[in-house]
Structure 1
Amino acid sequence: MTTKEFIELEERYGAHNYHPLDVVIERAEGCWVYDVEGNKYLDCLAAYSAVNQGHCHPRIVNALKNQAEKVTLTSRAFRNDQLPLLYKELSELTGYEISLPMNSGAEAVETALKAARKWGYKVKGVPENKAEIIACKNNFAGRTITIISFSTEEQYRDGFGPFTPGFKIVEYGNAEELEKAITENTVAFIVEPVQGEGGIIVPPEGYLKKAYDICKKNNVLFITDEIQSGLGRTGKLFAFEHEGVRPDVVIIGKALSGGCYPVSAVLSDREVLGVFKPGDHGSTFGGNPLGAAVARESLKVLIEEKLIENSAELGKYFIDKLRAIESPHVKEVRGKGLFIGVELKPEAGGARRFCEALMKRGILCKETHENVIRFAPPLVIKKEEIDWALTHIEETLKMA
């Protein structure tokens, strides 16, 4: 079948909740993907940071195959031999005492919100049903009803009310506004160390440390959403490490499974996640042996193949080279590691047309917030591949 035929099928039989680029990918390896007609593209999106280890990494694929031939799902009604090892390895790698596995990132965010509220009632002593959680403008944490209840993106909310109460919104990067918003009923502050869907927004230096200190002073849980920014994407294991803080709760997903299977998790110490008792919360697939085996190998690949270091080194190189491009359309280049946003001027006509032009040159990236092009390739990318991409990016950014 041709690209056109696949697109016609998708448009006819699928719900139209996405606006993808018109490329139909058939296979992928490392940083490269191939469409149904044999064309080759450099992936500069990495499935929104889910394939940090590269597409179809052989070690991760082998772990998936081997486990799939043994046992894939037991539910949490029984124990399995992979989940305890994932727990141990996550704790040793991150320094957090315990974790709670789920599947999608949104499920992990919901888990963190439930843990924060229960901690507020059972530990902090907030009156029942009065707990408040503070989030930031332009946040993105998923698509569930509760999560969009603290979104400030109108499209994400349009037609989906009534919304879950109990959330306050403050300006991202403004620690003073956070401090003013805290009350005796505030149980948590949830923040992305770098806002991904918001346009690769990097907060002012020192912001996370100030916010962390404010939360500590007021006995408020400091929660970081590292689903996109974590696991090497910004050149550190976690993006919060750039400011030397240790959140009370960390939410991870996406690259936790190298893009081979949905796996997410909430990391914390016993004081927080210990509020859950049997029956309080769960998931049939959360913590299944197939997902646990895949996650274990994905973490090993990330560390043993030094992908975090590669992100730090090549991310700086990529950003510096992008900033050196003289284009009438570019307003700003920003990012950390291989988590990069090129913001275009409003008069540039939107980022979509540039992404479509890059696709024709063999580079796949995606617009976010209309005027920002996101460049976030798999962390296995090589310098020569970046150099090849930069030639085409420069020519594209200089087009009329």
Structure 2
Amino acid sequence: MTRAVFSLLIAQFLTAFADNAILFIAIATVIQAAEVGEWYKPALQASFLVAFVLLAPWVGRLADKRPKAEVLMVGNVLKAIGALMMLAGIEPLLSYAVVGIGAAIYSPGKYGILPELVHHDHLVKANGWVEGSTIVAIILGAVIGGHLADISIPAALGMVTCCYIASLIATRFIPRIAPHREVTGSAVAHFGRTLRQFMHGSRARFAMLGASVFWGASVVLRVMLTVWAPAVLMMTATGDIANLAVYIALGIAAGSLLAHKLIPLDFVRRARFAGYLMGAGAMALAVTSDPMLAKAALVFCGVMGGIFVVPVNAALQEIGHHTVGAGGAVAIQNFFENLAMLVATAVYTGLLIFDLDPVIMMAGLGALIMIATLAISVRLPSDPEPRPVSAIEEPLAQKTE
């Protein structure tokens, strides 16, 4: 592992830790405000996600016009401003939206920089390290942020701000690599052209929509557990139900680290089998009433999800790096992922009106994951697929090592 990749891992861990800690701090702030209605919590989450959808044309372009290390720094600065706004007592919806803007800027830079720092053959492994460290940060951020917020919200927000600043400092040790291409013209028009190019390529389309299926299914599964667990596992304590999501996260972390051994970048087509197994795991979860078996099924779903999403992410970065720009490619991926999460959550919330059996809904989610994976796998070329023409060029990082 090079110093640049190690610095990226530290920066990503700290910023992901703070992103998830501040969510639970904001929720704690809402809980303490008795006059706030139940609609406020999902609105809080939406205020973070909406920036990824609305700003996709501009954040991708920014990541491809500027050295990506500088883009990461801009994202962290905006996140720190959002945390300070919340500390100053400014409306949490607005403050968390500013954090979301920073995250939307940060994400294309984070993934777009990997093809510049590592060789093609190590890209899946590097993605596994990034995804694995992110999942660990998500778990620790949720637990530590929630507990610290119960003690002191100002202290918790101070910790979050320090994490963003520390992440910014770590980013300074990542090389400033000049952009490979000139980006001009309308950002919206450029985003539309890039989108059409990616939808035309079967491998890129699979990578883009595959990540969307994973994150859409993941967010619904986490929400669905709050209804399924009390009905099937007879869990009533909020902490016990929340802990179930930890098993998913641990599975994703393990799967992320295994992915490069099981699915090399040239064989990304194999990832679809992990998608099928993730759906099968959700269907198995639906029919179990034993807590230990349920936890095992959740870990299995997470492992399969990690094995599925890591090579999918790496393939998208590789294609984008050698065609329209990795920053633009990741911005499109973020657009679809967060749109999928917003739509999936809205559909699930709408279905709750019909008071459907949680077991049927869980089994239905598993079936939909399998069907969606099959649908996006249609017309995938055989493995191994030839790399892009310009892929014969080594990453700049290799030339400077």
TM-score range, shorter chain: under 0.3
Where relative contact order (Cα < 8 A, 6+ residues apart) is larger, the structure is 2
What's the TM-score, normalizing by structure 1?
Answer: 0.27
TM value normalised by structure 2: 0.27
Higher helix share: 2
